[in-house]
Amino acid sequence: MSEPTAVVHTRLTKEQAGQPLTPGDVWSEDLQRFIPRGQQFAIDAEKREADPTFQLARYEERRSALLRFVGGKLREAEYDDRGYPLKGKMHDYYILPGYEKKTATKGCASKIADLLRLRVARKRVTDATFTADHGSARVCVELVDANGQPAGAHEAACSTAETGFQSPGVRCKYGAVWEYEKGKPVREVDPPDYRAAENDVVSRAGKRAFVGAVIVAASLEEVFDLEASTDAAGEEGQEQRSEKPAPARKGGPTMPFGDHKGEPIAAQDAADLVKIRDWCKKKDPAKWAKFVGEIDEELESRRTATQK
């Protein structure tokens, strides 16, 4: 029986292949035949998607464009003399005294979502409790990109125990009755029924979750404070955070120098503490490390207290 004859194929170049039978077709080196131009575009695109170098270059280009947008197109809040954002003028973001990262508002998140072509695919209440005395809810927001692929998600909460739900006007909205003297509320006669606040609580939690989902999807945690942004969510209707120093605590750390030497750190204004802390870091970080830590703890305790 004779041995089978080996068949040898010679790969052709574009010049050797000649002219395509169908105008507009292009020569494919891989397939060794003429194919429609659109098919070749699809093959080239698939190769680029699988190329790590191409992906890295595209990521860096998109990232650079996003950071330029955040730095140049978003509007910072207007502040009072002590560095706190003015009510109604928070704009796209604000920076609280003692903190380096920005706090994003709902408007800021909407602009970034529009730039990146993100949309809400699903919003769901994951937990909710409403009684006459108290109401709380947790909401999860899931985002998708322009192709419908998952882009990011975040869950946030809201409660009627927050400051924004405790003012006389807001409590009246939910059924509270007050006694007035000279046009000012002086005593609450009947308490509110917070079951009436369910829509407002769920809506506020949903806004916070949306802001958090956008920050996560855009990978902007190094620019925006995720915790602060999803706690307040830049709601212009919220009451301003407390600007007053906390009551002095006996036995607490004291000021080691200056006009207030010996006074409790807790009795100092936040803006002054920030300036002193920054000066210590520049002057002698090692020498003042303990003092800087005490200032940071004091500022954090005030911030935490205003969120309760």
For 61-101, the pLDDT digits (tens) are 989 999 999 999 999 999 988 888 888 888 999 988 877 88
What per-residue confidence (pLDDT) applies to 305?
A: 54
Listed in sequence order, the residues at least 6 apart from 239 whose beta carbon sits closer than 8 Å to its beta carbon are: 163, 164, 167
pLDDT at residue 303 in the model: 66
**Which residues, in sequence order, are bridge partners of residue 146?**
none
- Separation between Cα atoms, residue 205 and residue 199, nearest integer Å: 10
Q: What is the pLDDT of residue 263?
A: 80
Low-confidence stretches of the chain (pLDDT < 70) are 1-9, 183, 232-251, 302-308
pLDDT of residue 51: 79
Q: How many Å apart are CA 63 and CA 57, to the nearest integer?
A: 10
Question: What is the residue-wise DSSP string for 215-267?
Answer: HHHTT-TTTB-HHHHHHHTT-TTSPPPP-SPPPPPTT--B--SSTTTTSBGGG
Query: Cα separation of 237 and 232, whole Å?
Result: 10
DSSP state of 5: P
